[in-house]
Amino acid sequence: MAEQHKQVGDYEIVRELGKGGMGQVYLVRNLISDRIEAMKVLLPDLVQQGDLANRFMREIKLLASLDHPNIAQLRTAFTADNQLVMIMEYVEGDTLAHRLGFGAFSTADTLNYITQVLNALSYAHGKGIIHRDIKPSNMMLTPQGMIKLMDFGIARSTSDLGMTVTGTTMGSLDYMSPEQVKSEPTDARSDLYSVGVSIYEMVTGHRMFDATSSYSVMEAHVKEIPRAPIEVQPSIPKQLNDIILMAVAKDPAQRFQTADAFRNALSQVATTSATPVPTASATPVPVASQFFTPVSATPVPAPAPSMTPTPAPLAAYTPAPQVVRGGRHVGWLVVVAIVILVALFGGTQVYRSHKQNAAVESSMPTSTTTTATPTPTEPQPTAQPSASATAAPSAMTPDASPAPTHRNAAPTAQTNPAPVNNGPTPEEIAAQKKLMDDMERESDQLDSRAAAVESTVGTMEQQMHQSGLGMRGDIVESRANLRNDMAKAKQALDSMDTDRARKFLDMANHELDKLEAFTGRR
């Protein structure tokens, strides 16, 4: 939908920020207030899919009810071009997932950041809202040291029953609770499990389960006891080690039952740690009175978001001015005849199949054409018979010489001038052919990737069913979207509709990226 500098409502799109589970996110500028914000847009054509549209509408309503300093705020929402649009608070900073790429966090920093996350979850859970996708990449650290919990894209209310399809799972595999993996009912304790997995990674610098495939990760969450964090990183306080293991217990009844209980346990680690955390204390304090210390690490700029390049459309054609040799009307008639021939035989050819373009180019007339199609003319008045009336045809031959009375022929040639349409230039024909060739090559590459990922997902699905597990709902949805987008892209290529083909190739590529990430092929 959106491109750089395109305007959507009162918002100018500056650049793409990334893609989330429910849509695409852009950096935008409000043209009235001049405020920089984030815009989240449901991907093209998916609004017609009832379940996804319902989830997106639910996300808007849930976010609209949340007002907490550790949760990214929803500004407003509206529809544009039959798509749902959310305007979010733009959070400047870096995700904890990106910072983990430079190594594990100190105990003090971990306690600081996770305490803020638990503050946000305590507030959301108190309003009956479960996040269901807690992970370091959804925790944004601002330059002031504040954590903003992002992306309530698959959040649901505890009273929102029947929204999850039976036999499907939602969330991110590495941080998913056992009950999510098994597609069982979830509650606030599922979010707390994901917080425990996130702490494990933050203090050790390693994922909790070092599995080689998506299926093995899911199986580990259900069956495998993780290695104690203190064995991976001996400098971790024993008390924090025990808290993490309690948070990731397989049985929800063995975990912390509330975010407040989890936060209070961490506050005890903070008071006995060598480096106390100013934002955590043994006695929970009101959110409004908390002050967060700046992060100790040097801020690292977030990587520039990648964008799939879209070939620019062909520039609009502007006919070149006709060159008339000084005083030679015969030469002018030759030029007009050639223009008419080009318009008749060349102008429509660029819209034919690109497979016929080579033949079209060879059949297009050039400046040496000596045969003209007769053009009907007005009958000449009988009172002025002249040789000039019969001299005009001979003027079209190379050996003709301008007749002395040729100036009388000019009114006849100009009585009904044909509209000038030079048609596409050879450069435009070549550009159109190259664009079609590139798109067909891209379609073939997507076909190969799609076949490979379909095979992997199919095998994984069989393994999961044998173990009594269900395939993730978003993966089931992505497979269906991929097939539909590829079919529409091929139809558009067959009809030479490059704009439509580009749109569906981009959509198919997005679904493939998601499926390949899920299967570990990317």
CATH 3.30.200.20 at 7-88, yes or no: yes
The secondary structure of 375-409, three-state, reads CCCCCCCCCCCCCHHHHHHHCCCCCCCCCCCHHHH
Amino acid 454: pLDDT:
80
24 bridge partner residues: 19, 41
3-state class (DSSP) for residue 306: coil
Amino acid 407: pLDDT:
45
422 bridge partner residues: none
Contact between 105 and 61 (Cβ < 8 Å) = no
CATH number of 94-289: 1.10.510.10
Q: Quote the tokens at residue 89.
A: 């608070």
The full set of domain ranges for the chain reads: 7-88, 94-289, 427-519
DSSP letter at 169 equals B
Instruction: Report the alpha-carbon distance of residue 341 to residue 362 in Å, rounded.
Output: 14
Contact between 241 and 230 (Cβ < 8 Å) = yes
* Catalytic-role residue among 133, 151, 474, 506: 133
3-state class (DSSP) for residue 113: helix
Q: Quote the tokens at residue 163.
A: 């929204």
The secondary structure of 486-522, three-state, reads HHHHHHHHHCCCHHHHHHHHHHHHHHHHHHHHHHCCC
83 bridge partner residues: 80
Instruction: Report the alpha-carbon distance of residue 178 to residue 165 in Å, rounded.
Output: 17
Instruction: Report the alpha-carbon distance of residue 363 to residue 369 in Å, rounded.
Output: 12
| 485 annotated active-site | no
Could you tell me where the beta strands, DSSP code E, fall in 66-130?
Answer: 74-80, 83-88, 94-95, 129-130
CATH number of 427-519: 1.20.120
* Alpha helices by DSSP H, 38-106: 50-64, 96-100
Contact between 194 and 134 (Cβ < 8 Å) = yes
Backbone angles phi, psi at 146, to 5 degrees: -95, 140
Amino acid 118: pLDDT:
97
Amino acid 331: pLDDT:
52
> Across the 522 residues of the chain, what is the mean pLDDT of every consecutive 10-residue run?
71 86 82 93 64 72 88 88 85 94 95 97 93 92 94 54 38 87 90 97 94 86 94 95 97 96 92 43 33 36 43 41 43 53 48 45 45 46 44 43 47 53 78 86 86 79 68 78 87 86 87 77 56
Amino acid 417: pLDDT:
56
Amino acid 341: pLDDT:
53
Identity of the residue numbered 496? M
Q: Quote the tokens at residue 229.
A: 């964090």
Distance linking the first and last C-alpha atoms of the chain: 25
Instruction: Report the alpha-carbon distance of residue 477 to residue 450 in Å, rounded.
Output: 14
Contact between 106 and 153 (Cβ < 8 Å) = no
Residues present in the chain in total:
522
Enclosing H/E stretch for 147: strand 147-149
Q: Which residues of 71-82 are buried (b: 16+ CB within 10 A; e: fewer)?
A: bbbbbebeeeee
Contact between 475 and 490 (Cβ < 8 Å) = no
Cα radius of gyration rounded to whole Å, the chain:
34
Do the bridges between strand 139-141 and strand 94-95 make them parallel or antiparallel, or are there none, so unpaired? antiparallel
Instruction: Report the alpha-carbon distance of residue 146 to residue 195 in Å, rounded.
Output: 17
Enclosing H/E stretch for 15: strand 11-19
Angle at alpha carbon of residue 351, lines to 348 and 316, rounded to 5°: 85
Nearest partner of 117 among 158, 150, 75, judged by Cα: 150
Do the bridges between strand 11-19 and strand 24-30 make them parallel or antiparallel, or are there none, so unpaired? antiparallel
Backbone angles phi, psi at 90, to 5 degrees: -85, 115
